[in-house]
Amino acid sequence: MTKTLLLGAMALAVGTFAFRFAGPLLRSRVKVSPRTIRLLEIASVVLLTALAVTTLLPTGSGRFGWALPAGVLVAAGLAWRRAPLLVVILAAAVVTAGLRALGVH
């Protein structure tokens, strides 16, 4: 089992490095249309929005309150205003933790 796990991790590492090096190596050979670039930009926004929305939904048997959605909304607002990622993450964590500390679950 350990050998299989190690081989799997090595295969993932090699694949990751291959993808990382393929971009600069193939940049001059592969032409991407402006329409495809625009669709990829839209897809990334849709994907991040879906991720934010699923964060708002309750999971497991935990209680669902207003602290988590408030933190996500703060993060979404800061991200919309193009705040640095670290600021977005820390602000969301502080708002969520602060509300929970005040008894808002």
Listed range (13-17, 67-71, 93-97) with the worst mean pLDDT:
67-71
Higher pLDDT, 57 or 45: 45
Q: What is the pTM of this model?
A: 0.51
Residue among 79, 82, 90 at smallest CA distance from 52: 79
Distances (CA, A) of 45 to 20, 23, 51: 22, 22, 10
Listed in sequence order, the residues at least 6 apart from 18 whose beta carbon sits closer than 8 Å to its beta carbon are none
pLDDT in tens, 20-45: 999 888 888 888 899 999 999 999 99
Domain ranges of the chain: 1-31, 33-105
CB-CB neighbours of 95 under 10 Å:
18
Residue 67, helix vs strand vs coil: helix
CB-CB neighbours of 100 under 10 Å:
16
